[in-house]
A = this chain, B = another copy of it.
């Protein structure tokens, strides 16, 4: 950065994206500023939603969002192989393995060896897990609703469409996927 420009007196969470994009564009003409802005904004929005849900719904109940995702998947789709659980809840098999230790210790789900393939693991909710998930989901969905109200119904649909298109494009982008 050859031409140093003084940062604004007050550099905040809210002003940083504009500042960063403009500064990067000025200092590095080769930068793709719009891509930078898109990824930056996407991450900030998600991180805000995640932080709110995690800290207002899950942590106070002694849960975490990843744990909730696993329990929720099992609640919706019924007992299933751990491999499937990992895939649909968007985590690696190794991450799930570690997470299961916590969930099993807390008595929320149980592991069973699969009958048709003795390598495979079958997961199912315990009575306690089954009894807890509905209440937590309701609280989770209430906060989701509060966030959703920021947009008009049509805008919500458009946001979902754009995010899906973004994900679909990952193939062309040769993006790396979780194993």
Chain A residues with CB under 8 Å of chain B are: 1, 4, 7, 11-13, 16, 19-20, 23-24, 28, 30-32, 34-39, 41-53, 55-56, 72-73, 75-78, 80, 84, 87-88, 90, 134, 137-138, 141, 143-151, 153, 155-160, 162-170, 172-178
Contacts and interface: CB of A to CB of B under 8 A. Distances in A.
Integer count of this chain's copies in the complex: 2
Given A11-B84, A49-B42, A76 B175 contact: no
Given A35-B144, A146-B174, A163-B41, A16 B151 contact: no
A140 to B, nearest CB: 9
B38 A160 contact: yes
Contact of A150 (B42, B157, B173, B176): B173
